Every structure is written in C-alpha cells, then in structure tokens.
Amino acid sequence: MVDYDISVVGGGPAGLSAACAAAKSKAKVILFEKDQSIAHNIRTSGVTWIEEIERLRISKEHYNPIKNYTFISPSNEVTIRGSTAKSCVLNVRSVYQHLAFLAAEAGSEIMIKSNVTNVVLDSKNRISGLKVGTPKGEIVIGSKLVIDASGFNSSVAQRLGLVSRWKRYGIGAEYECYCENVDSETWTLMVGRQYSDAGYAWIFPLSKYRVKIGVGIGRPESYTDPVEKLNSIIEKRLKPLDKMGKIQPVELHHGLIPNEGLRKSTVYDGLMLVGDSAGQANPLVLEGIRYAIEFGMLAGEIGAKSLAQNSDKGSLLEYERIWKKRVESKINSALKVQSRWIGLKDEDWDREIEILRDMSHEEFFDFIKAEFTARKMLRLALNHPKLMARQLFDMVLRN
C-alpha cells in the first residue's frame, strides 16, 4: 500500500484545482478520474464570466467572449446588448486539460480510468484510504485526507452515508454543432413549454461556426427526456434555429447538476466536499465551474494546511466558513427566483421577460450571475418601478 497525504476523487475542475493547490502546498497528492481521459465526457455547457475566470488563470485562448444576451419566450423576445464582453462560453475540454497540466506540473499524480470502489476505515471508523480499480488492477492507497470532487454523485460521501442523493436537480442534454449562421457574440436562452417543461433551452456559441444547442429540465418537476426534447427543437427549427442555416451535431453531451441549495455540511473528519458534491452552483443558469475552480483551490490549500492536525473536522472548518460566506446568500436568493421560474406558464414567461427588457447591461449581468446584494436589488426596484421588478425585489430580499 502506498501512502499519500491527500487523495482527490474526480478529475473535473474542482478536483483538478484542489489537487494543484494541495501539491503546491507541498502535500503528496493523488487524483483518481473514472473516465479514460480528463474531459472525456463533457457534462457542462461552460457558460461563465470573464473577469472571474481570468482571475482563476483561464486565459482567452480557452473561451469565446459574449457581449449580448437574448431571451426568447413563446410570444416575446428581448436582447440586452453590451459594449464589452463580460460573459463567455468555455471550451470545456481545453479548460479541463489545462487544469490537469497545472496539477501535474505542481506535482500531483493523476490516474485515469480509475474508479474508487470502496473507502478504507481505521479501527476508529475514520477514513484512512481508498480502494480503487485502475488499469493496473485494484490498488489500496493510504490517505490522511480525501477530497470528494466526484460531482453530482458525491460518491465518497454517499458511500459513507454522510449525504443523500440530490432530490432536486437539473438534467441536461446538448449537441455541440457545426452551424452555418451563428452570432458568435450572443448567447440565447429559450423558455416556455415548447422548449422545456421545467427549465430552458440554450444556444451558446463557441466560435463563428461552432455552437452548443441544449435543453435543461428540472427534476422532479418534469421527467421528460431532454434528448427527445432537444431533437424536437432542432427538427422543428424552433425560433431562433429557423435562421441558423445548416445545423450538424458533432458531439452529444449529458449532465446533471444539483438544484436544491448547499450541502448542510461539507467537511468531516478526513473528508472535504467541493464543487457539485457540495452544491456549489448558481441555480439561475445552472453554472458552477467558477465556483468549482475557486473553491477547489481553497479546499486544496486548507486541506494541505490541515494535515498537521490530522485533517480532523475542526481543522477543515475554515474551508466551509469561507466558501459559504462568499456564496451562500447569493445561491439561496437565486433558488427563490429559479423556483418561481420553474412553475411559469407560457403567458407568464411572456410577461416575465418584460422585467429584463428594461434592465441595463450591468443590471442584467448582476442578475443572471446571482449577485443579489441588498444594494443592487434595491437599486433595481427603484430604477424599474414596474410591479414585477418590485415583486422580484420582495421575493429575493424579504422572504
């Protein structure tokens, strides 16, 4: 048995960032990815925000910048235009492999096609290692700390009975396509029953001729198959696909993302949860890659520091305090808005879009990012005295 300081389960952005940060802090780190390569299966559309993602060392070669945002409902449409690009669509495979190289450079050991089959406990019922099926056969490794970055399944924490399976979540399907006619500076969200029973559809451009077309559906509000819905949208050429010319899928992506808020606890003796395992996602547009990278780095740094205290829960609590202070209230407020959106009928969506129509680019950007501070929401309500804007203010800040 080989001993490590920290073992990371999951080779997505959270796990890779945690491994990199821990290795930079001089911890002996190993990471296990169950797929046969990093980013072998794409499970996210990669929408995020340029300022934040560049602060996390993801440079412009890895994303397509977005200036404009279009919302389409059954009988309404609005486009909010900006003078500069603030959002972007990531080349997800490129980003993940970039993070993997950073982790390797820092000294992390990465094992692909390696699936954790069990958690090893010591005589005090404390985590002491992992059993892992690898291309070299089953191995057992010792580990002072395990970072569960396994995504939606929270596989280590679930195996230990510390958390239950997410009950509310989004399920998505998306084609990455060649497309003849794409506005590469504009992403589009389509809402209403023809697009999604409980969610939305999207068009996220990666370049002049490459685009992601997808559908997200909320569970348990609807059990429609997102692939069937996506195929129907493309076959019927629903607006705005009717103006996009030839559409040729070249990849199909699937993904699940938690949609019920944060885990009550994300640290235990010898264990940390990060990324989707912890519920670190913005419910409005179901994006969480920025949180995964940022809080993955945080988990790696604090995890490495905790080794001197045998990585007991008390030495890990700093991680939970910091990340929840940064995003807990924002995510909870976004959940209120998202819960309202899930139940809207087509005619409701037509009216809801009027809230967006009067927003400035800055106001919209804060809104869609779930930047629901009291000051920003009050300014929104005062600047836009329509009833729906004031209802939004009341729902987010007074409930």
Bridge partners (DSSP) of residue 127 are 121
Percent of the chain with pLDDT over 70: 92
Q: How far apart are CA 139 and CA 114, in angstroms?
A: 10
Q: How far apart are CA 206 and CA 242, in angstroms?
A: 19
Tell me which residue of 93, 99, 47, 102 sits closest to 69, measured CA to CA. Answer: 47
- Angle, CA of 199, 204 and 208, to the nearest 5°: 160
pLDDT at site 395: 44
Query: How far apart, in Å, are the Cα atoms of 393 and each of 340, 353, 364, 366, 371?
Result: 13, 16, 14, 13, 13
pLDDT at site 383: 65
Please state the three-class secondary structure of 90-141 as a single string. Answer: ECHHHHHHHHHHHHHHHCCEEECCCEEEEEEECCCCCEEEEEEEECCEEEEE
Instruction: Tell me if 350 sits within 8 A of 73, measured CB to CB.
Output: yes
What's the pTM?
0.92
pLDDT at site 348: 87
> Average pLDDT for residues 102-119, to the nearest whole number?
98
φ and ψ of 323, to 5 deg: -70, -35
Mean pLDDT of the chain: 91
> Average pLDDT for residues 172-195, to the nearest whole number?
96
Give the pairing of strands 109-111 and 29-32: parallel
- Angle, CA of 340, 346 and 352, to the nearest 5°: 50
Higher pLDDT, 84 or 332: 84
φ and ψ of 384, to 5 deg: -130, 85
Instruction: Tell me if 8 sits within 8 A of 32, measured CB to CB.
Output: yes
3-class DSSP state of 210: strand
How would residue 332 be classed by pLDDT, with cut points 50, 70 and 90? Answer: confident
> Average pLDDT for residues 227-250, to the nearest whole number?
97
Domains along the chain?
A: 2-43+92-166+260-328 (3.50.50.60), 61-89+168-258 (3.30.9.10), 334-397 (no CATH)
The yes-or-no verdict on residue 388 having pLDDT over 60 is no
